[in-house]
Amino acid sequence: MARVSTSQKSVIKPVSPRAQAQRRVVFTLSASQLLSGVGNGAGLAIGSLMAVELTGSNAFAGAATTAISVAGALSALPLAALAVKRGRRVALSLGYCLAAIGSVLMMLAPVTQSFAVLMLGAALLGVGSAANLQARFAATDLADDATRGRDLGLVVWSITVGAVAGPNLIGPGSALGASIGLPPMSGPFLFSLAGMLLAIVILNIGLRPDPITLARGYDEAAGHRATAPVAGRRRGSLMTGLAAARQSPGALLGISTIVVAHLVMVGVMSMTPVHLKDLAAMPGHAMHGGGNDILIVIGFTISLHIAGMYALSPLVGWLSDKMGQVRMMLASQGVLVAAVLVAGLGANSQAAVTIGLVLLGVGWSMATLSGSAFLAERVTRESRVLVQGVSDTLMGAAGALGAAGSGLLLASLGFAGLGYVCLLFIAVIVFFCLREIASRRT
């Protein structure tokens, strides 16, 4: 028998320490996202209904989502600054700890019949949402250019199970809450509390050593020199981050794509529970008098929407790496257009609204993942975490604007009119994406 020489044997390339560390980080972030997603899913599905019940007016339907978005916007930069100073583990753990407290307050809001308690609880859940957003960027700390989109997509995908389960735990949560004397809308937040606490435990086990610390060490060993920070501004401020983004070619396009997609998604999604509840109250409508628990219908619809947001994330991340982030950002706008048209033209159909919500989630995923990967590549190492914090701040602010404005638009223009207004914002991103593609061809 002929002997195979050593040179002919296939050589297995050893995995580098950086790649091994990245695998650990992605796995840890994925597990924590899965658990923390339970809390955020329940908050989005029930918050608008709580607000209407406590105030007696649909005009306040977006109040809880607004509080979540505003708190997420205000806490994004402080969490980013804390990550720079103390590491991702500390920043993410603090965000989830505050969200756990928010879950307790959300449980107490129906008990106390207090709108103020609801708003405070929703705000603290918003800090948890900011931590979830920061987790996706944590996946890029040790990633290389060839796999950045894929790694980011894997972490975002992991939230699917928790986020989809959150709204569908409304029924079991209500039953569990009733068994210990809580109102129906309080019970689901028992699962939210447990999810946040378990996420904190996982982070404090798996993010040692911290990815930011490791990334700095590897960059120094590779001879990468840190660029000087932008002068004349307070470190960690919004203006510093914006100045750094302006110095990075294309960074503002990435930020704008993320922000507009979130504005459109939150605006339409936050009003869907109210719209479906109104349809169920209409005499003669197919949803009226059918014996269905409207909370279960709403929970199922929001679950499908959240599945659209996260379920395809690995594929979206891989496609973003292969076809290019700008083309993916442009494609995402087409999906968002289809989403608002389907939901708007079929506003009186539960099926059409549900399909529109799924497309809305997919479009958001495409825009957020490609925009985030595009941003991470365009910003210098020294400014990356701060600019990412600015992106999340503006994203949260857009969500707050979408949630607050959508309630007014729903009351004045209806559910279809709300979607048509969103088309104006989408058109702006289409224009700038096309301009970026054209500039690369010249």
Crossing angle of the two packed helices 17-55 and 63-86, in degrees rounded to 10: 150
Grade residue 349 by pLDDT with cuts at 50, 70 and 90: confident
What average pLDDT does the segment 295-303 reach? 77
227: in domain: no
1: in domain: no
What average pLDDT does the segment 94-112 reach? 93
Cα–Cα separations (whole angstroms), residue 376 to 165, 204, 252: 30, 25, 12
Distance CA 391, CA 373 (A): 12
424: in domain: yes
Grade residue 229 by pLDDT with cuts at 50, 70 and 90: very low
Q: Containing domain of residue 127, as a range?
A: 19-214+235-441
Quick check: 167 pLDDT over 70? no
CATH of the domain at 44: 1.20.1250.20
151: in domain: yes
DSSP state string for 119-185: HHHHHHHHHHHHHHHHHHHHTTSS--TTTHHHHHHHHHHHHHHHHHHHHHTHHHHHHHHHHTT--TT
49: in domain: yes
pLDDT, tens digit (0-9, with 9 covering 90-100), for 52-94? 888 887 767 778 877 887 888 888 889 988 988 899 999 999 9
First to last CA, the chain: 61
Highest-confidence segment of 25-34, 153-162, 184-193: 25-34
Global model pTM greater than 0.95: no
285 or 432, greater pLDDT: 432
Q: What is the mean pLDDT of the chain?
A: 82
Domain count along the chain: 1
Return the pLDDT at 35. Answer: 84
Listed range (38-42, 129-133, 222-226, 228-232) with the worst mean pLDDT:
228-232
220: in domain: no
pLDDT, tens digit (0-9, with 9 covering 90-100), for 238-297? 777 777 777 777 788 999 999 999 999 988 888 888 878 777 776 655 554 544 467 677
What average pLDDT does the segment 321-328 reach? 89
6: in domain: no
Listed range (148-152, 231-235, 287-291, 340-344) with the worst mean pLDDT:
231-235
298: nearest Cα among 94, 50, 17, 56: 50
Return the pLDDT at 197. Answer: 94
Return the pLDDT at 3. Answer: 53
4 or 298, greater pLDDT: 298
Q: Residue 432 corresponds to which tokens in the numbers above?
A: 């700038």
> Would you say 104 and 193 are in contact if contact means Cβ atoms under 8 Å apart?
yes
Return the pLDDT at 228. Answer: 43
225: in domain: no
